[in-house]
Each structure stands twice: as C-alpha cells, then as structure tokens.
Amino acid sequence: MAVSVGFGRAASLGMLINNAEVLERVPKINVMIFDKTGTLTEGRMKVSSVRPWVISEPQFLSLLMSAEESSEHPFAEAVRIYARERHIVHQKPDSVEVVPGKGIKVEAGGNRVMAGSAKWFAEIKVPVPPEAEQEITRSSDSLLLLAENGVYRGYAALSDSVRPEAAGLVAELSALGITPVIASGDRRSAVAALAASLGIKEFYAEIFPEEKSSIIMRHKAMGKKVAFVGDGFNDAAALSEADLGIALSSGADIAVKASDITLMHGGIAGVAHALKLARVIRRNIIQNLVWAFAYNAALIPLAAGVLYPLWGLLIPPYFAGGAMALSSVSVVLNSLRLRRIKL
C-alpha cells in the first residue's frame, strides 16, 4: 500500500520511480556523479566566438554547418543558430558518422569535414598549429574544433549557464551525507570552473562516455554506493552501471530507459526530492511492517484463547475479525499520510 501511494505522490511531484527495489538502494547512496552539459548546466549552448584558421569566418561557419547540420548534440544546435543568424550557406553532407563523446565526421562537397573535441583531434592526430594550441589552452569556454581533409580550420567557443538550482542541490546532497562529483567530456578548464562555482571538490574532465562507467566502477570498488545523474545518449551506459540511475525527461530516450528514476519537470531540483521521498516511502513501509507484526503478535494468541486457561477469557470471532480489519485500516491510513508529505 505504501509503495502504491508513495509512487503516486512521486508522480504528482514530477518523478517516475521504475520499481520498488529502487527504494532499498536509495538510503545507501553516498556518492552522486553528475554529467555536466544539460544536467548541471541549462544545456542551451551559445556560440560566444569563432576563431577560423587561414580561412574566412563565413567559410569556417559553412564547413561547421555541414558537419553539425543533423547532429543532436547541444553544441550543434548552438552552431546552427549562430550560422543562420549570419545567413551562412553550406553544403549538405553526403554521409555522416557520429563518434560518441568525441565528435562527428561528414563528407560534404567532396571534402571530409570533422568537428569535435581537442582531445579527439589529438587522438586522431589532426595537427593544431602552436599559436592556435596556445589559444585553446588559455580558453575557459567549451570548444568545438574543426578540420577539413585532415587540416585544422579553427574552433568555435561555446558557453552555457549553470542551472539556478544546482548550488542548492549540492548543498542538500552534502546535508544528506552524499558526495557530489562531476564527470564530463568537456575541457578541464570549463569543468574546473563549474566545480569551483558549485563547491564540488572531485571532478573528471575530457573523458569519453565509456570512462564514466569506469569512474563509477572505481568508486564501487572502494565500497561506495553510487548514483549517476545524466540526460544524454552518451550517459546510458553510466546510468545502467550505477547503483542508482537518475535521468532528466528532457534528455535522450535511451538515457530515460536506462534510468531508475526519471525527473519529468526537466530541472535537477527533483534529485534531492526523489532521494528524500524514496527514504520516506521506505520508512513508511518499515513502520507498517513493524506495526502489523507487533499487532498480530499480540492479538493472534489472544484470539487463539491464550487467556482462557488463566481467566476463562475468550475473544468472540466477530471481535477478532474486527480487530484484524482494524489492523489493515491502520496500515492504509499510515500509508495515506504519504499523499500529504512535504519535501
């Protein structure tokens, strides 16, 4: 009964809990790992500047648009808005290959165009001129590098806003004894700045999607119980690997399907609410079990006539039946208190 009422209350607050087994895991969580873009930040990226190399800005944006035209990444939408505002004409891509957590490759107008992270460009050995490398190192923005036929063509700098509820959530987690951690594929300088602004001491930057799962496994190997909060298709594996996966409904479908709890209202304030409500539901279940056990342990012997040899007292069947019904009613009433719970 408590599970049904509690899940109903969770739904009314914009939280979907997948199954009752989640309630057993929530109180044990002591580490919560967050994705950055779209989770701790708004996910509404804006292009703050572009730095073409050798080619003109319109040529740079045309190539970048060819690469990002069909991508669903938040960076891509920012690029499309920026380029359309400047009436940039671009070649439609003939083929597209997405490299999760790293970037994208397309064939457009007979050219091979790649857009992605600086770490990926280093991995696939796209040479970046020393002068550009210095600019990239100094920048605290998120950067999207561009190459044409293996030749570096520049980068776009993008910025995002921290969710207004993020700082409050971090404080609430600390009060609950949960250590917040950031794991992001973004540049170290950008992740470090966000962590410092939120008071988060542990963070991982410039990591690929599969490394998020490795980070979770390392914490679990140390005896930690780990929750992961994310919204992108790159987060699905991490959500499955964690002891508790929490996804934002505004994110990718695959992330939502891999999660244990889905926050329907899009923001992350519901993370602390979900943890608190799950704990309250579990406590209510324990109260019901203890009450039912104690009640039955006391009255069943009476109904069986334990007092008859001593004082000749017998409980009539109708009284015993009423007492049994009263036990069930008390459990229902206690469970119904969850409807009015305030978080």
Q: Which residues pair with 183 in a beta bridge?
A: 204
Cβ atoms 33, 228 nearer than 8 A: yes
Dist CA 142 CA 150 (whole Å) = 22
How open is the CA angle 146-148-149, to the nearest 5 degrees?
Answer: 140
Question: Phi-psi bin for 234: left (phi > 0), alpha (psi -120 to 50), beta?
Answer: alpha
Dist CA 250 CA 232 (whole Å) = 9
| Closest to 234 in 3D by CA, of 259, 209, 216, 254 | 209
Largest CA distance in the chain: 104
Q: What's the residue count for the chain?
A: 343
CA-based radius of gyration for the chain? 27
Helix (H, G, I), strand (E, B) or coil at 343: coil
260 is a catalytic site residue: no
| Closest to 243 in 3D by CA, of 82, 30, 87 | 30
Choose, from 35, 160, 235, 243, the residue flagged as catalytic.
Answer: 35
DSSP state of 51: E
Dist CA 313 CA 101 (whole Å) = 75
Cβ atoms 105, 145 nearer than 8 A: no
Cβ atoms 24, 171 nearer than 8 A: no
| Closest to 72 in 3D by CA, of 48, 38, 123 | 38
- Active-site amino acid positions: 35
